[in-house]
Structure formats: C-alpha cells, structure tokens
Amino acid sequence: MQQVPEVIQTIPLNYYVFLSAALFIIGIVGVLLRRNALIIFMSVELMLNAVNLLFIAFSSYRSDPAGQIFVFFIMAVAAAEVAVGLAIIVMIYRNTRSVDVNILNKLKW
C-alpha cells in the first residue's frame, strides 16, 4: 500500500462536490448578471474550471487516471475556444464599437 495524501484522508469527497458546485453557480450568476461580453466569457471559464476541479477530485480519490486525461482534453478545447471566441469579440467590437451583449439582441429572434 502506498501513502495516501493527507488531504484525501481528512477531507471528504463531498466537500469538493460542494466547492465546485459553488464555483459553477458563481459562473452562472456572472453570465446572468453582466453585459460585458468579455466578463461573460470569463464566467464561462469559471464554469469549465469548476468541472475540472470535480474531475480531478474524483480521479484522485478513485485512483483512476481517465479523469485527469479528460481534464487535459477540456483544457485543450478551452484554449481553442478562447482563441476563436476572443476573435469573435474583437470582430463584434470592430463593427459595433462596443462589447455590450445587449447591442446584439437581434440574435434573440
């Protein structure tokens, strides 16, 4: 038997579930609350990171490397997403001189 890290011995897995749930909710509230497209984008990053934390916590507690590989792929996809998304935001700014999402409210219908 190998040595189990101290945090895994003392902290129940439930706490990580609650922590990442709270982080995810903060991201959702950010998307709902703000009108700056960049801040909405950052809130989406927060939500992605909440999921990453949960993946890593479960993977460490269960000694299953698949969860950490998934996080690796999530990070790769997030990097690609940020590159394209920021290009779109720069494009929107160039056309409307603003990053306020309410200017784009015609996209709603």
Partner 1 sequence: MAGNLFYFLAAITLLCALGVVVVKNPVYSVLFLILTFFSLSGHYVLLNAQFLAIVNLIVYAGAIMVLFLFVIMFLNLNKETEPAKGSLLKMAAAVAGGMLLVVIVGTLKSANVGSYDASTFNSQVGMVGNLGLVLFRDFLLPFELASILFLVAMVGAVLLGKREIGDRNF
How does DSSP classify residue 63? T
- What is the rounded CA–CA span in Å between residue 71 and residue 89? 26
CA-derived radius of gyration, the chain: 18
Q: Which of residues 63-102 bind partner 1 (CB under 8 A)?
A: 63-66, 68-69, 71-73, 75-84, 86-91, 93-94, 97, 99-100, 102
Q: Which of residues 48-67 bind partner 1 (CB under 8 A)?
A: 49, 52-53, 56-66
Tell me the closest approach of the beta carbon of residue 70 to partner 1, in angstroms.
9
21 interacts with partner 1 by CB under 8 A:
yes
Provide the CB-side half-sphere exposure for 38 (13 A, CA).
Answer: 7
Tell me the closest approach of the beta carbon of residue 91 to partner 1, in angstroms.
5
Which two three-digit tokens encode residue 9? Answer: 């011995």
